[in-house]
Amino acid sequence: MSEEVLIQYCAPTLAGLKTGNLFTYTFSAREEMHAEIRRYNRILAGKKLCIIPMRYRNGKALLYLYRPDALRRDISAADTARMLEEAGYGSDSASRCIRELIRRLESQEQFPHEIGLFLGYPPEDVRGFIEQKADNYKMIGTWKVYGDVEKAKRTFQAFRSCTARCRRQWQNGASLEQLASERLCTDRRERTQNICGK
């Protein structure tokens, strides 16, 4: 697994703009992949980031890079907690919710629709996706938008800018650890402006 792959698919999470990202990693030997995950977790642990395998299929692993503190915050929010309870998660523990999500990913062919809640998607958009069966959305970007289109546009642009900036900084010699450094920002809006050059 290369740093370039992590930056390409996970820059908004690395930079603290997003709770988590999923990406697929092709491996030849599971042991080697686990060694790579451990290596990256050692690098990123001090930055409050974690990578875990979620599912294995046909020589590919679905990996989840996330910020545990952000996930705990997200799942404790009333709308998200209610949706997870309705979906049968039955716990407000982030680690138990992740274990349940892994169980569902391993036992189902398609992604559970509530997976967006683990990626920092707005609950109203996840609910809309579920209730509308992925139709009748107002806009599509990183996710299908059913709620606030203007806010989603700004968020999607911030993610694109962040990815481009992280890629440039990495190509100019910044390490993954430097890209994942906490910025001196107090909220996501400031963080978006500081990290994504807006």
Torsion angles phi and psi, residue 45, rounded to 5:
-60, -40
Measure Cα distances from 3 to 6, 115, 117, 164, 165 in Å.
5, 24, 25, 14, 15
Residues of the chain scoring pLDDT < 50: 182, 184-198
Q: What is the pLDDT of residue 80?
A: 95
Alpha-carbon distance of 13 to 49, in angstroms, equals 8
Which pLDDT value is given to residue 110? Answer: 86
Domain carrying residue 69: 3-196
Q: What is the pTM of this model?
A: 0.88
pLDDT at 184: 26
d(CA 14, CA 9): 10
The number of domains in the chain is 1
Residue 190 is predicted with a pLDDT of 41
